[in-house]
């Protein structure tokens, strides 16, 4: 599949309060305006998981102002790559999109110590995705 000059990536998990927020934040942090980034959930939580906010702050990425967003067909339709975060989410499927599923532990209800390895694995996968998309990283 060919990649547009500015690819668009959507990260999806059920609550949009942990994994998808971390992935979107890392992609934005590493790629800047070279990639359009969204995250959403099928049943968004009221707020981003505080342990996730703390774990991301430890690596210099502030997501304290982020809020969970609801998944829409429009968000999927306008994305080149849709990444579900190991939660079995029912996501609308449109032809011509690239779909990936990243099986990751859910940080919900867990402390920052348990979130750190999830955060680090998400960063590793985001860096791999950027390499696949041929996007240079800022750091």
Residues catalogued as catalytic:
13, 87, 91
Report DSSP letters for 114-135, one per residue: HHHHHHHHHHHHHHHHHHHTT-
Is the Cβ–Cβ distance between 76 and 97 less than 8 Å? Answer: yes
Is the Cβ–Cβ distance between 1 and 98 less than 8 Å? Answer: yes
Stretch (H or E) spanning 16: none
Task: Give the list of residues 6+ apart from residue 75 with CB closer than 8 angstroms, or none.
Answer: 10, 38, 40
């Amino acid at each position: 599949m060919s990649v547009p000059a500015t690819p668009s990536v959507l990260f999806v998990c059920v609550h949009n309060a942990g994994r998808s927020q971390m992935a979107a934040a890392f992609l934005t942090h590493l790629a800047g305006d070279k990639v359009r980034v969204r995250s959403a959930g099928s049943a968004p939580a009221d707020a981003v998981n505080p342990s996730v906010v703390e774990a991301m702050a430890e690596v210099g990425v502030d997501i304290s102002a982020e809020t969970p967003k609801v998944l829409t067909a429009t968000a999927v339709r306008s994305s080149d790559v849709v990444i579900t975060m190991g939660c079995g989410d029912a996501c609308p499927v449109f032809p011509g999109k690239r779909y990936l599923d990243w099986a990751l532990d859910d940080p919900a209800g867990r402390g920052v110590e348990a979130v750190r390895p999830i955060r680090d694995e998400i960063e590793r996968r985001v860096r791999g995705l950027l390499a696949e998309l041929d996007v240079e990283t800022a750091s």
